[in-house]
Amino acid sequence: MASFEKRGKYWRYQIHHQRNRQKQRLSKSGFKTKKEAQIAAMEVEQKLNRGMIVSTEDPLLIDYLRSWIGIYKAGSVQKVTEDRYRNFLASVEKLLPYMTVRRLTRQEYQEFLNEYGKNHAKDTVRKFNRFIRSALQEAISEGIIHVDPTKDAVIKAGNPNKSKDEKFLDMDGFKLLIRTIKKKEKLAVSDVFILVMAATGTRYAECTGLTWDCIKTFESFLL
């Protein structure tokens, strides 16, 4: 049963209900009239009666995505994947800094995806869309939203995907890269990564996990 009260200029509703035999309270304020609060409360009660999980929260999209990465992905995916997620976050913060999770419609998301795709290859846009969709599926499970704005999103891109020749070095290019690095007076961290991977065959994620105690200088091997 919902109750209503006016606090200052705005109305608020409160709904008391039980979930898993525990009493819970949902409340939301900011309604200009009591009628608006009543309509909003009625919609929430209808969802509760259908057994749906309901939340009155509406976090910023960028904050929700950042939290989702920290809770579900950090430490459970390879560092290269986590770094990609951080880059995706930067794009969301640039293009949709004030968008909330609930306000994001399918049309707005498609426009946002189109804008992102102007400067990225199709494979990257597809990965970006998959990232957003995975996070918003969790928002649906939490009851924050009930419709997936990424559903049936069209993948468009302004840059072509790289060919295999562009993605990988041939032997001559590989040797030139190593010679160029060795000529440097001072090596950057990325240079050291390349030399270690070239000499040992380790993958990027394995190389980033190395520490000094893994390097046995005198024995000339890595643990």
- If one counts every other C-beta atom within 10 angstroms of the C-beta of residue 79, the result is 13
Residue 14, beta-bridge partner list = 3, 27
Q: Are residues 81 and 126 in the same domain?
A: yes
State percent of the chain over pLDDT 70.
88
Among 13-22, 26-35, 160-169, 192-201, the minimum mean pLDDT is found in 160-169
126 found inside a domain: yes
Q: Are residues 72 and 130 in the same domain?
A: yes
Q: Are residues 98 and 38 in the same domain?
A: no
212 found inside a domain: yes
131 closest CA partner among 88, 100, 91, 96: 88
Could you give the CA distance from residue 204 to residue 196 in angstroms, rounded to a whole number? 10
154 found inside a domain: no
Q: Are residues 23 and 43 in the same domain?
A: yes
Range of the domain at 33: 2-49
Most confident of the following: 54-58, 130-134, 166-170, 203-207: 130-134
Produce one character per residue of 198-221: b if its CB has 16 or more CB atoms within 10 Å, e if not. eeeebeeeebeebeeeeeeeeeee
158 found inside a domain: no
- If one counts every other C-beta atom within 10 angstroms of the C-beta of residue 26, the result is 19
Could you give the CA distance from residue 57 to residue 163 in angstroms, rounded to a whole number? 44
Q: Are residues 39 and 17 in the same domain?
A: yes
131 found inside a domain: yes
Q: The whole model's pTM is what?
A: 0.57
164 found inside a domain: no
**Over the stretch 66-113, which tens digit does the pLDDT of each residue have?**
999 988 888 888 888 888 999 999 999 999 998 989 889 999 999 999
Residue 134 predicted with pLDDT over 90? yes
Number of structural domains found in the chain: 3
Q: Are residues 68 and 133 in the same domain?
A: yes
Q: What is the CATH number of the domain that holds 123?
A: 1.10.150.130
63 closest CA partner among 31, 93, 39, 43: 93
Could you give the CA distance from residue 212 to residue 186 in angstroms, rounded to a whole number? 19
